[in-house]
Amino acid sequence: MIQRDAAARCTLKAPISAVGRGLHSGADVRLTLRPAALNTGIVFRRTDLGVDVAAKFDNVTDTRLCTLISRGDAKIGTIEHLMAALAAAGVDDLIVEVDAPELPVFDGSAAPFLFLIESAGVIEHGGARPVLEILRPVRVEQNGAFAELRPHADGGTGFDISLSIEFAARAIGAQAYHFNLSTAGFADEIARARTFTQRGEIEALRQAGLARGGSLANAVVVDDDKIMNPEGLRYADEFVRHKLLDVIGDLYLAGAPISGRFIGSRTGHALNNQLLRAVYADQANYRLATGALEAPLQLTAA
Ligand SMILES: [Zn+2]
């Protein structure tokens, strides 16, 4: 089912749809994942506006609460958890239809998206899968947080991620996690980790008209040393696993799977996006491992 190591490009076998609530609007959003032609890349389509936006780092226009891509006034937010599931499943070409400015949040994790992808099925459909090989260290920093991509050490393969976080809230504290996306562990180790927020932040978001759809059903809510969700945590270190999930999703906006090592501390959507911009700012930083990569990287919109 999962074609992560396929040599050819992959899409879905069949379209699949789901309806879920948007985190910020609180309104229902219809999501359809549609098989796409070779070299389409991942393209988001606002069916209510008739506008397409490629899932590329240079279309990211807001990273404050989620990763949001836009073209003109057509916005599509909260794409990162679906993008993580697509990266893990090895989907290269796909049309993602939504009829609202954000994706459904579902349970705040990538697991529902992975379920949809696996239910539809992933197939190879030809071409050559590109790989973005990191050739020299690239680092971005902000307020003591950093995100870095490095070439593999001898023998390293795939997209290898080491992440640490530190929060004043005692229920989170300091956590670290290491994961290699070329392993089969995404579904068990990463996909189910939910997004999280602190109790004090919720009131501010609500007053700003945001997080209307937010609830204990789609986020872990922390109040210093307490977890407000009655069911508790899915993993003792669910917080760092979720932040690692976000790194996978945000960096899949590179337009190709990454071959290299990510090292980050307290990184978020903004820094993850800055890192990709920094990589692509200098051609000495990277190499496109197959000739087929030129097409998806130059894609601006279908
Ligand atoms: Zn997230």
**119-129 per-position pLDDT tens digit:** 999 999 999 98
Distance CA 16, CA 13 (A): 9
Q: What percent of the chain has pLDDT over 90?
A: 80
Q: List helix spans (H) across the chain.
A: 80-89, 111-120, 199-207, 238-251, 269-280, 294-298
**Cα 33 to Cα 94, 103, 115, distances in angstroms:** 7, 12, 12
> Nearest-CA neighbor of 113 among 233, 213, 29, 205?
29
pLDDT at 292 over 50: no
How many angstroms separate the alpha carbon of residue 223 from the centre of ligand 1?
Answer: 19
How many angstroms separate the alpha carbon of residue 155 from the centre of ligand 1?
Answer: 30
For residue 119, give every residue at least 6 positions away whose Cβ sits within 8 Å of its Cβ, in sequence order, or none.
Answer: 16
pLDDT digits 0-9 by tens, 21-49 = 998 888 899 999 999 999 999 999 999 99
Distance CA 63, CA 267 (A): 12
Distance CA 234, CA 253 (A): 27
pLDDT at 163 over 80: yes
For residue 161, give every residue at least 6 positions away whose Cβ sits within 8 Å of its Cβ, in sequence order, or none.
Answer: 178, 179, 180, 181, 244, 247, 248, 261, 262, 264
For residues 19 and 27, the answer to whether their CB atoms sit within 8 Å is: no
How many angstroms separate the alpha carbon of residue 108 from the centre of ligand 1?
Answer: 7
How many angstroms separate the alpha carbon of residue 190 from the centre of ligand 1?
Answer: 11
Indicate the average pLDDT of the chain. Answer: 92
How many angstroms separate the alpha carbon of residue 127 from the centre of ligand 1?
Answer: 31
pLDDT at 301 over 60: no
pLDDT digits 0-9 by tens, 72-108 = 999 999 999 999 999 999 999 999 999 999 999 999 9
Sorting pLDDT into bands at 50, 70 and 90, what band is 205?
A: confident
How many angstroms separate the alpha carbon of residue 125 from the centre of ligand 1?
Answer: 30
Q: Is 269 a catalytic residue?
A: yes
How many angstroms separate the alpha carbon of residue 80 from the centre of ligand 1?
Answer: 6
pLDDT at 252 over 60: yes
Helix H or strand E segment including 33: strand 28-35
For residues 242 and 194, the answer to whether their CB atoms sit within 8 Å is: yes
Summarize the confidence of residues 147-162 as an average pLDDT: 94
